[in-house]
Amino acid sequence: MAKGIGSDMALLDVAGLTAGYHKITVLRGVSLHVEPGEFVSVIGHNGAGKTTLVGTILGIVPVRDGQVRFEGRNIAGRAAAANVAEGVVLVPQDRAVFPNLTVADNLELVGNRSALQDGYAGRLAEVHELFPILKERGRQHAGTMSGGQQRMLAIGIALMQSPRLLMLDEPSLGLAPLLVQQVMERIREINRRRGVAVLLIEQNVRAALNACTRAYVMKLGQMVYDGPPAPLHDRTVLLKYF
């Protein structure tokens, strides 16, 4: 098994990361890397530490030990807002929309901040191209949309922030299979067309493995597999790590 050590040119390089909440340690010496433009999936059971991992990378869960390097700079312990400003963007498990605002206002509120005004119109047009429903429902309040539409809006909001590393935590959660397929296709399209590196956190093993170019398996706060997704399509192999 590969040890998860990134190259000198890795966009994201996590090394020996230990983190948790209060007295509980969740991550235990986790190492992971994402190269520029790469699509990486992290799969594992509920409670494996996947959400804690992306929260720690973003800066909303305290780091106890280890490093989180983005473009060679250690960002461990830095405020989440500073990381977002540099292009580390997370779409969390919940739908992360402002339910009492319209779809258009959700996108404008995030995408038209002073630091992001350059290229605003182009980003908005790209979001509408990827998710036409967001343009069609621009005047609809976000809270009245279906779960799948809210998930698309949450991804659209993330794209309005010009991500260089797009992290998505369980984007398939609660969606019907057809919607899962549609959302995953759009995420792959974002990766291919824009060259945005993707770190996908998923319990939906099939969807995650079909989407990525490299996979990790996480178990009890540790990485137990780092490699190509193809071997994990074999259930016998997969169960060795689960």
Spans of the chain, pLDDT less than 70: 1-8, 112-117
Query: Residues 78, 173: one domain?
Result: yes
Q: Which residue, chain included where needed, has tokens 């969390």?
A: 92
Query: Residues 63, 103: one domain?
Result: no
pLDDT of residue 2: 39
pLDDT of residue 165: 98
Among the candidates 123, 142, 161, a domain finishes at: 161
Among the candidates 161, 183, 199, a domain finishes at: 161
pLDDT of residue 199: 98
CA–CA dist 133, 129 (Å, integer): 9
pLDDT of residue 95: 72
Query: Residues 106, 174: one domain?
Result: no
Into how many domains does the chain fold? 2
Query: Residues 156, 168: one domain?
Result: no
The range of the structural domain enclosing residue 55 comes to: 1-87+163-242
Its pTM stands at 0.93
Q: In degrees to the nearest 10, what's the CA dihedral of 77, 54, 153, 129?
A: 100
Query: Residues 110, 169: one domain?
Result: no
Query: Residues 174, 231: one domain?
Result: yes
Write out pLDDT tens, residues 132-174.
Answer: 999 999 999 999 999 999 999 999 999 999 999 999 999 999 8
Q: Are 223 and 43 in contact (CB under 8 A)?
A: no
Among the candidates 161, 193, 213, a domain finishes at: 161
Q: Which residue, chain included where needed, has tokens 């996108």?
A: 107
CA–CA dist 221, 218 (Å, integer): 7
